[in-house]
Amino acid sequence: MSSESGDEGIRINSEGQVTIPAELREKFRLHEGDEVDVIEAGNALQIVRREGSESRGRRLTGRMRGRASVRMSTDELMGLLRGE
């Protein structure tokens, strides 16, 4: 088996896991924690991004929500970011 990246292929480990090469993860904007499905397409398997799964940004903001120690309004925060 060979991948689009031109390497020797991808091996399946003893737990049935594969590692998607970095250049393909970058090309298809796949990040740690992204949900994908493996689907059968004729005599091939395809890895596809799971529809409706949270994006990396949504996961990160979800983890950060409620952790700030200082309460600021949006206007105050924007002023701080702009150096006003």
pLDDT digits (tens, 9 = 90+) for 11-64: 999 999 999 999 999 998 888 888 899 999 999 999 998 877 666 677 677 777
- Is 47 in contact with 22 (CB distance < 8 Å)? no
CA distances (Å), 10 to each of 6, 28, 64, in order? 11, 17, 35
**pTM of this prediction?**
0.52
Domains for the chain: give ranges and CATH numbers.
1-54 (2.10.260.10)
Instruction: Reduce the secondary structure of 13-68 to three states and give it as a string.
Output: CCCCCCCCCHHHHHHCCCCCCCCEEEEEECCEEEEEECCCCCCHHHHHHHHHCCCC
Which helix (H) or strand (E) is 74 found in, with range? helix 74-82
pLDDT digits (tens, 9 = 90+) for 8-21: 788 999 999 999 99
